[in-house]
A and B are shown apart, each in its own frame.
Chain A
Amino acid sequence: MLAIIGTVPDEKFPLTLGRMTLVDETICINAERIPVNRGTPALIGAAIKAGEVLGLDDIHGFLAGDIGLGHGSRKLYHHLTEQLPEMKIKTLVFHYLQPDVDWHNKILFAVEAMGKKPVLIADAGFMYAAKMSGQARCYDMFTPDVGELAFLADEIAPHPFYTRGFILHEDNQVPDLIRRAYDHGNAATYLLVKGCVDYVTNEEHIIASVDKPVAEAMEAMGGTGDTLTGIVSALVASGMNLPEAGETAARTNRLAGVFAHPTPATQVIEIIRQIPRALTEVLKSPHIKD
């Protein structure tokens, strides 16, 4: 089972757990319906679309409504600390959740109590909390963008909002930031870094870098990092190893972007629609570059 934990931008959306499907570009989970837009719904949409190609249909959501006050995130945290130890999950993805170190640590204890530890992937707010807690090494993969990588590289910053200027400085190349993040113990076993060049790396070396194809407008589009995390999560849940999944996801996300012919005004659903075509093409020709 691929389990995705995150929030929906609707304060009234209840704590909802269940298998998810995509019908007419709307996420269906139990009786709830969620439009696919940026954030966790974009991650879910991308994972389901990738799952169509991979034969993966066991995708479950642990969702709650949260508009930034943390109410929904805390409902999820509370539920997960109680229920996770009894659950069987192959791949566990944490996404848009209110960063809270205390709750993060309780979740990690609950994961450690599971019969078999799942592959752990973290992005967005939960990745921030994982880094701040000093427990980043417990995770199998983080999926930061370059700005978030600078935050991981800053051993002091508790949130990207406080990343120090000398680390953000443009002269700091991504490989330097990756090195610094690992040196301070603030990176997961693997990093999938989204940027002008996407990197797949571990502590020892950069395993892959993907710089083609290019759809420059994707930088301005909300949700393109979420789709990358969704694709890599589906690939990992389908059995692909993490570094290969990272590179395949980076190529697929870029190709889906090119297929969508985006402008900076394009919405992420346009890219999600192209994921099956892009992933099929990448899997046929893993080293496609253009």
Chain B
Amino acid sequence: MSKLQNETEGMVCLFMGNEAIARGALEAGVNVAAAYPGTPSSEILENLARVAVERNLYVEWSANEKVALEVAAAASFAGLRALCSLKQNGVNVASDFLLHLAASGTRGGLVLVLCEDPGALSSVNEGDSRHFARMLELPLLEPGDFQEAKDLTAWAFQLSEELKTLVMVRSVTRLSHASGNVTLGKLALPSGQAEFRCDGFILDPLEGAVASAPVLYKHALQQEKIRKAKEIFEGSPFNTYHGPACPELLVITGSACSLYCREAIEILGLQDRVGLLKLTTTWPLPSDLIKKHLAQTEKVLVVEEVIPFLEENLKVLGAELAKEVGCKAFFGKRDGVLPSVGELNPDLVMTAIGKVLGDVACPGPSEYQRKAQSKALSLAPTREQTFCPGCPHRASFFSIYKAVELDGRRGFVCGDIGCYTMAMFPCGFGTLKTLHSMGSGLGLASGFGRLGQFGFRQPVLAVCGDSTFFHAAIPALINAVHHRADIVLIILDNSGTAMTGFQPHPGLGIDALGEPVPKIDIALVCRSIGARVESADPFDLDETTRKLSELIEDGEGPRVLILRQICALSPEKKGKKRYEMTVDESLCISEKCGCNRFCTRSFRCPGLFNDRMTGKAKIDEVVCAGCGVCISICPVSAIKGKEAA
């Protein structure tokens, strides 16, 4: 049984932040959860899906984030408790609905968990969605450790019901994907009776219509909720202060940064001089609590990641309070005391505290550290990101690159979001030339494909994955067909949302619980929209290149090529080799061949390397996945594959 369902109240478990969030939801008696996968948020829904049957939950991987939030909101309107979890840019996708939801209000507790990625460890952006809380006037909570991730999530449902509005809970990679001790609370009993009551007086919050209109009335109501949230936050036990009564420096922080700050103060031995105010209720700010602390200090350092959200809001508050508490000196990102991009860590916080206090000696690099850094630089070669051995994308981009080069008209490929994003790098032969949000590759291609009247002659290609196709590419394909854009869309179908851990999508015949569900056929969708559709196995390089070359030449509206091959890491494939690969050393003549070590220098699969002793290509048996694609790239057929038993 999943430890998420452990009934022993008070027991200590090691939980990943995302597991703690899921447990918090279960302790609050969540009924419905919906999400679209995205690192670092995916494990929340995965964990809830695992216990869905026993806890009587409805859990789904929705087609995209906006639909996920709509599905969760419907449950709230029907009186149930619901959770929606997204990564940072997912909030952008859901934001149009979120704007109206903030105004319409909610019924059953509705919690939006956003997991952000400072430093973009697994993202193509460093988005910060906290601004949505201020912009859309919604309460925002930011847990500072694993225990709070559980406890605040559970409390968020109660808060949402009290205020009748959605509550945002923000986590970050270093919390969602980090783990720590969590003391379990009481698990709620599976329950829930759904009914959408809508026959009452139109403005009745529990029995009327749920809508953002009448706009001014609802907007005023929303602001009243935010004022009420502020009053509740003033007394929240989750906001804590540690330090002297009148600190020389007050550090105000939240989220994972509170762990960095605590450790930085401890390492510097400044517990008697520096106070730490950890805020978990970051919008609206508990202004009375902050006023009390501002009155006791002259200097304030605000420590947070990505955008100076807290810093700017505290400065507004500081200006409003100046006549009562005096003028304070604020430090943070805006003055460069802390870096304005990338994630923070205890070292960066130590440096910042040192800069502000002036008399604190931050240990600079020792002689040892200088030596160690220089050895690491000279001896440890960088590891660029690359496609896994056996990855279908390496084969696909090999053919795409080749077809575009053979065409010779300076064609290019618009990229999209997924592992195949890495085709911007050498592992994908630098094939991708644009990269933005999900579905944008095809939207951009649709635009490029209509520039002919301005003398534009370059062939335009776009790629997207199977999950991305359902998420955001369909409207762009409709647009391209409707406007006869001259483009080729290549759908890299690896049978799952592979990058985030094989979550199912509408193209697969299973749901989040692994139950059979109707599947939507990508080829059929494209054909019904009016595109010409071909398909190929990307592992067959010649056939793929030939079909693609033909599609590039056929300049008649959008053409679609579906390249289908399951991800090498998928549970069906992982660890199973199709071929036992070898290199025939008598045939490989290495540098003398004239191929210029094509297999290792250009194809660059990690399963092949050049043996230092013999100078010949060799298979790394530990790394090779046995896909057999490299058999057809060697000009002298030295790479051999024997069908594995």
A pairs with B: no
